Copies of this chain bind each other. A is one copy, B any other.
Amino acid sequence: MKLPESTEWALHCVAALAQLPDEAVSAAQLAEHFALPTPYLSKQLALLVRADLLTGTTGPRGGFRLSRSASQVTLLDVVEAVDGSGDPYTCREIRQQGRGAAPPEECRERCFLAQRMRDAHVAWRESLRSVTISSLVASLSEEVRARTRASLSRHVR
């Protein structure tokens, strides 16, 4: 069970953009900031736009910014923008197959195993949903935030 490598990219980009709420930052700037390949990072940023977490603008001053307050964006939002919201456990109803098959009338409710696997996925989602990007950024030192701004802001340079 693996999240895509780009999950780390998306999380760091959103956390970085939350530190420059008044500016648009281009994919090329973010790629340089984290030493990531621009074309592939651009695809991940497009997923964040599609999930309505970022807005993208074009033009010489264009780029990406959070579409709403960082207090309204959770880790779950970012992770699911990249990886989807599906349960990692897939129930293919093998309880209804083979010599031990349960009859359909016994299977109106979700399989007892799938239920418990779902409970665990809910616990995972709730944990990620409880963490806002704003709370994470607030936990960073002023030194870290100043470095992010110095690297990414068009105004500082």
User: In the complex, how many residues of chain A place their beta carbon closer than 8 angstroms to a beta carbon of chain B?
Assistant: 58
**A18 touches B (CB below 8 Å):** no
| Main DSSP-derived SS at the A contact region | helix
The answer to whether residues A136 and B117 also contact, given A123-B123, A147-B100 and a CB cut-off of 8 A, is no
Q: Which of B8, B112, B121 contacts A124 (CB 8 A)?
A: B121
A73 to chain B, nearest CB (A): 13
A141 to chain B, nearest CB (A): 8
A88 to chain B, nearest CB (A): 5
A89 to chain B, nearest CB (A): 5
* List of 8 A-B pairs having minimum Cβ-Cβ separation, nearest first: A35-B98, A120-B127, A35-B97, A33-B100, A100-B151, A124-B124, A123-B127, A123-B123
Binding site for B on A (CB under 8 A): 1-3, 5, 7-9, 11-12, 15-16, 31-36, 75, 79, 83, 86, 88-92, 94-95, 97-102, 106, 112-113, 116-117, 119-128, 131, 136, 139-140, 144, 147-148, 151-152
